[in-house]
Structure 1
Amino acid sequence: MSATNNEAAEDTLDRAAARAVRARSLGLLGDLLRPHGRRLAWSAVLVVASTLGQVAGPALVAATIDHALPALDDGRSGPLVSYGVLMVVAAVAAGLANGAYVRAAAVISQAVLLELRRRVFRQTQRLSLEFHESYTSGRIISRQTSDLEALRELLDGGLTGVVSSVLTMVFTAVGLALVDWRSGAVLLVAMVPAWLLTRWFQKRSQVFYRRQRTASARLIVKFVETMTGMRAVQAFRREATTEREYGRYAEDYREANLDTFSLNGRYQPGLVLIGNLTVVAALGYGGWRALNGDLPVGVLVAALLYVKRFFQPIQQVGMFYNSFQSASAALEKLSGLLAEEPTVVEPVSPTPLPDARGDVRLDHVTFRYGSGPVVLPSLDLHIPAGQTVALVGTTGAGKSTLAKLVTRFYDATAGSVLLDDVDVRDLATPDLRRAVVMVTQEAYLFSGSVRDNIALGRPGAAQADIEAAARAVGAHDFIVAMPEGYDTDVNKRGGRVSAGQRQLLSFARAFLANPAVLVLDEATSSLDIPGERLVQRGLKTLLAGRTAIIIAHRLSTVAIADRVLVMEHGRVVEDGTPAELVAADGRYARLHAAWRDSLV
């Protein structure tokens, strides 16, 4: 009994969660459409006018057959001309209104998609590093590509078609009822199997299209991950394995598409069959009445036209439901992404810090990643302004975590990180990013010129300042040796330069930004020994008077530090100058001795 109650409770929670997701998605769609209220109203007027013009046709045909033709037989051509003119006017008005409606709907859909693309891009930049470290780039690319494409298909074609189709069905049913209510009753009876078939289709297509969207996203994620890690794939000869894995995802996607097409292959012929049988029934019943003189021939023709026309839009509605299910699943994913909140939030009333000195203090800082184990247990640390501090220790000691807290990529779980006695959580992001700059071992370069990459942290910097920063870190000589010097395009991710040169360019970028605090996280890992020595000379000059936190396994980089902190399990276990710690014969002394032996 308890297990049954638990299952019932879980089902209730699942339904509540599904309702919440749908409400969130519809809320997003409503928010996107709200600014276009007037244009939507005008589109509604146009589609009504277009549909009325189309539905008027069969009624005018009935009047022509039953009234204009007998009048012509009596020598009066006026009624035939009048009804002919009305048919032309109705057809032209319907065509013009439909064209204007399609254009207006296209303007709305493109405006909605543009705003949604901007929101997704803005949101992905707004979210904290914690989100990006858990949410793969492939999933984000899937949001910006396949999911937005599904919405585009819905808004560009499906939505305009379904609105017109639904109105056509409604107005056609009303027109048939006005022309001959008995034929309308035949149509009403036929609607029962059509409705049952459509409901069957809707329930299954919802499942199939969700599976299709999931399979599509997995395929994109796998492709992006493989292309991003192509060096590792080729270095370890994993081509065959990745090809098999990609093939498996592609096969899942193929099967999901086949299931969807198979469903459509049963639904659409079913509707066609019901529609044709209804026309046969209407013709048999109406023909019998016409033979008995109970139904004018013109009304019979109009009734058949209305019945035939009624079932054509149902197929369009069914096709729209395909697009709707695909777009609905995409909208749920997009609304979920947009509903994410950054874990590092902007302060409501930020404390201004226009000219930071660079005094850094960690006051009883405790930190854990999410619900994981504690990484930093109550860490106290003070780094005076202008001091260069090196952090050393084994992998997982907490060095990079400390750097992420100082740069506020993460917020402390407990305690405070202070810059010039101001909690970094109280600093506006522009002030913090101007005061604290981090250079990582990744050394990412964007497509564009060398100049643009160096000036990333200070857009609009003068050429002389850019060259001065490059000279300071030893990058100027290899830059001027490139084909177009500072105007050379480094290509995507810096493909035209070596790993060490990328690192030097990232140094030049950081130094041009002129921060009060500079954090170097394994930033010399890509440099060879001559390059490292060159950078160290630049660092000695450029770190003068600036607070610096250097994280490095290479102890040659540590030699320029005023102070060394040895970390273990998130705690500082040794603190002193390099010379003092070597003489103390502790952990740093052993690390130093091992490093010296490795050089030999």
Structure 2
Amino acid sequence: MSTVIGVQGEERHEYTKAESRSLRTRSLRLLGSLLHPVRRMLWATLAIVVVSTAAQVAGPAIIAYGIDQGLPALLAQDWMPVGLAGLAYVLTGAVGAFLIAAYIRLAARISQAVLIDLRTRVFLHTQKLSLEFHESYTSGRIISRQTSDLDAIRELLDEGINQLIRGVLYMVFTAIALVWLDWLSGLVLLAALVPLAFLTRWFQLRSQAYFRRSRVASAKLIVQFVETMTGIRAVQAFRKERRNEREFGELVEDYRDVNAKVLALFAIYNPLLNLMGYAAVATVLLIGGFRVVDGGIEVGVLLAAVLYTKRFFDPMEELAMFYNSYQSAASALEKISGVLEEEPSVPDPADPVDLWTASGDVRFDGVEFAYTPDRVILPRFDLDIPAGQTIALVGSTGAGKSTLAKLIARFYDPSSGTVSLDGVDLARLHPKDLRRAIVMVTQEAYLFSGSVADNIGLGRPDAPFDEIVRAAKAVGAHEFIESLPNGYDTDVNKRGGRVSAGQRQLISFARAFLANPAVLILDEATSSLDIPSERAVQEGLQTLLKGRTAVIIAHRLSTVAIADRVLVMERGRIVEDGSPDELIGGGGRFAALHSAWQDSLV
């Protein structure tokens, strides 16, 4: 089966011809949707290019008229033909220059409109995709879509399209003008097109694979750089600098090698192209010279034929550069269209059910969850969490605790069965009601650039300042916030770098308290707190959990002690279920965990 080298993710992949056609169709469909809103400007731009190119091509024909008609008339004291030829030449030049200026302005408007549309689409669509996508698609690859890939498309729109349209039209109009002036010179040009077509096809086939590899190599560089800088603490902590240097060096070498091969193609293509152009001009001049002597054509026509033949080959180098931009942009468009074609694995309901006020009753009915058919994380089970009850999930790493919590938050949908809130299947619940009713606080405690008050206010953007302060006081965060340089107006810096991990966690608690959800999920939310801070926040947690359904995932049993009910999980199954006191006295797995925890305190 025939294959084409392509890109899948950031790896080389051999596409079948059918897959390659599908990719092109998908990319063209995206491009069409981007150009549709600016179609009127596109038509205006095309009209400008046609007229300006025709004005430029008219130059040699005007010169031929000036020589063949104007000079004999000038010898007869009639300067009118020469004057008209000169005036026409200046006017066509002025028209061409004016229209090119108009074209540049219109092309810039089209380019920016398309890029803004595409950049916004990628951001909004990526933001809507489910957690599954973001856990498998690295941040470096997403950044590559928004940076190098969009830059490749920008270069094509800013310069490549201009090179293509003007180059092709220029060649077509030049060929027409040459045949109109002297059909025999047109035949010479036609004969030159045969080796030119073979040379161009040779260049196209080889450059296509190299340009795709260049895009892949560029993306890998970006991914490596972003992931290294994002994880710089781990890099320095584990002395990974030398290994990163070696890996990055290999990527740089690969990128250099593929670009060197691209340049080597141009080093062959451009000289051969020039050689063909010189050979065509020499042939037209030689044949035309004999015909001028025999009186077959005028000197002016011969000059115009030579100029047209020379000019015909001039845009070919620009078209080769366009192909460079086109290959990069086509590869980038394939990858961006691939992201935009991604569908959320947790789609919004087609006919959502409203739940304005939730009490917090959570139920699992015949739920099973598997990331892949051969990787079942949660075997089939039932679970009822009454409204207002605090549940603690306990178990070893990989037991399925976080997966169960993500099902409650509807970051994932179960493979079978239903998860419901107050009797309403989460898959049918209106997304706004779902996010208002269920809030998850994770161990990451992510803070956005901005003030402390802004970050707490994410829980309820319309909340007044006094409620933000009240939320901070409720979870024990007010005191340290007041000690910051500007209090609640202190900028936390990128990702909360100005405050400690424990302080970030307290701010996330305040955010959750302000949101006032019916169901609160704490996924290792106290893991960033030291022992004194954890003890200080216990009272805040009691306030935070009061009157709402809560699911706590924690390895620290001091946090589990505030729960009404404990579920012990092993290999995706609930093996123990009861109150903390009941399970401690039962002599099971939780009792053993509790005993080991007490021994560690001693």
- If the TM-score is normalised by the length of the shorter chain, which range does it land in? over 0.9
Q: What is the aligned counterpart of 1:15 among 4, 14, 17?
A: 17
- Whether the aligned pair in 2 keeps the contact of 1:437 and 1:515 (CA below 8 Å) is yes
Q: Please point out which of 55, 58, 61 is paired with 1:56.
A: 58
For residues 221 and 112 of structure 1, the distance between their equivalents in structure 2, rounded to whole angstroms, comes to 25
Between the aligned partners of 1:259 and 1:138, the Cα distance in structure 2 is: 26
Deviates most, 251-260 or 364-373: 364-373
Which residue identity lines up with residue 251 of structure 2 in the other structure?
Y
Q: For 1:575, what is the secondary structure of its paired residue?
A: strand
Which segment drifts farther, 204-213 or 282-291? 282-291
Shift of 1:123: 1.2
Contact residue 2 and residue 17 of structure 2 kept, 8 A: no
Does the residue aligned with 2:458 lie in a helix, a strand or coil?
Answer: helix
Which residue of 2 is the match for residue 567 of structure 1?
Answer: 569
Letter in 2 for 1:151: I
Question: Counterpart of 2:372 in structure 1: which amino acid?
Answer: G
2:417 corresponds, among 392, 415, 418, to 415
Mark the CA change 1:210 to 1:9 in structure 2 (over 3 Å): closer, same or farther: closer
In structure 2, the residue matched to 1:3 is none
Per the alignment, residue 101 of structure 1 pairs with 103
State the shift of 1:372 in Å.
3.9
> Structure 2: which amino acid aligns with 1:59?
A
Equivalent-residue separation in structure 1 for 2:520 and 2:2 (angstroms): 56
Instruction: Give 1:452 deviation, angstroms.
Output: 1.1
Mapped to 1, the partners of 2:543 and 2:199 lie a distance apart of: 78
Evaluate the alpha carbon distance shift between residue 593 and residue 441 of structure 1 in structure 2; reply closer, same or farther with a 3 A threshold: same
What is the deviation of 1:457? 2.3
* 2:240 matches 1:238: yes
Residue of structure 2 in register with 1:528 after alignment: 530
Q: Hey, what does 1:516 align to over in structure 2?
A: 518
Aligned residue number for residue 256 of structure 1: 258
- Give the partner amino acid of 1:414: S
Q: Deviations over 1:357-397 (max 9, x none)?
A: 11100111000113342111112111111111101011111
State the partner residue of 1:336. Answer: 338
Q: Does the aligned pair in 1 maintain the 2:378–2:400 contact within 8 Å?
A: yes
- Report the Cα distance in structure 2 between the residues aligned to 1:384 and 1:491, rounded to whole angstroms: 40
- State the Cα distance separating 1:10 from its structure 2 match: 12
1:426 counterpart SS class: coil
Task: Give the Cα separation in 2 of the matches to 1:13 and 1:446.
Answer: 41
Could you tell me which of 450, 470, 476 is aligned with 2:478?
476
What's the secondary structure of 1:369's corresponding residue? strand
2:403 equivalent in structure 1: 401
CA contact (8 A) 1:379 1:570 kept: no
Gaps of 5+ in 1: 1-6
Using structure 1 for the length normalisation, give the TM-score.
Answer: 0.97
- 1:267-307 residue CA offsets vs partner (Å, 9 max, x unmatched): 11111111111111111111111122211000011001101
Residue of structure 1 equivalent to 2:301: 299
Equivalent in 384, 387, 390 of residue 386 of structure 2: 384
**How many Å apart are 1:96 and its aligned residue?**
0.9
Gaps of 5+ in 2: 6-13
Q: Mean Cα displacement is larger for which, 461-470 or 199-208? A: 461-470
CA distance change for structure 1 residues 150 and 9 in 2, over 3 Å: closer, same or farther? closer
Q: Which amino acid aligns with 2:118?
A: L
Matches within 5 A, 1:175-254: 175-254=177-256
- Tell whether 2:561 aligns with 1:540: no
CA distance in 2: counterparts of 1:468 and 1:516, whole angstroms = 19
Tell me the CA shift for residue 8 of structure 1.
Answer: 7.3
Alignment check: 8 A CA contact 2:53 2:170 kept: yes
Kindly provide the CA deviation profile for residues 96-135 of structure 1, in whole angstroms up to 9, marking residues without a partner as x.
Answer: 1111112111111111111000111011111100011111
Contact 1:215-1:252 at 8 Å conserved across structures: yes
**1:65 matched to which residue of 2?**
67
SS at match of 2:418: strand
Q: Distance in 2 between matches of 1:373 and 1:195?
A: 54
* 1:470-494 deviation digits (Å, cap 9, x = unpaired): 1111111111111111111111111
1:178 CA drift (Å): 0.3
Alpha-carbon separation, structure 1, partners of 2:215 and 2:265: 16
The count of aligned residue pairs is: 594
Task: Choose which of 550, 553, 557 in structure 2 pairs with 1:551.
Answer: 553
2:146 corresponds to 1:144? yes
Equivalent residue, structure 2, for 1:345: 347
Alpha-carbon offset, residue 20 of structure 1: 0.5
Contact 1:447 1:490 in 2 (8 A): yes
Given candidates 70, 76, 79, the residue that maps to 1:77 is 79
With 29-38 and 553-562 compared, the bigger mean Cα shift is at 29-38
Q: 1:473–1:534: 8 Å Cα contact kept in structure 2?
A: no
3-state DSSP class of the match of 1:381? Answer: strand
Structure 2: how far apart are the matches of 1:552 and 1:441?
10
Contact 1:65/1:297, CA 8 A, preserved across alignment: yes
CA–CA separation in structure 2 for the residues paired with 1:213 and 1:588: 53
8 Å Cα contact 1:210/1:325 also seen in 2: yes
Q: Which residue of 1 aligns with 2:11?
A: none
Checking the alignment, whether the CA contact within 8 Å between 2:475 and 2:543 is kept in structure 1 is no
Distance 1:433 1:526, change over 3 A: same
Distance in 2 separating the partners of 1:435 and 1:30: 40
Contact 1:365 1:415 in 2 (8 A): yes
Amino acid at match of 2:314: Q
What amino acid does structure 1 have at the position aligned with 2:196?
A
**Conservation of the 8 A alpha-carbon contact between 1:109 and 1:156:** yes
Percent of aligned pairs with the same residue? 62
Secondary structure at 1:425 match in 2: coil
Match of 1:489 among 484, 491, 495: 491
The alpha-carbon distance between structure 1 residues 23 and 53, as it changes in their structure 2 partners (threshold 3 A), is same
Q: Secondary structure at the residue paired with 2:364? A: strand
Query: Could you state the TM-score of these two structures normalised by the residue count of structure 2?
Result: 0.97
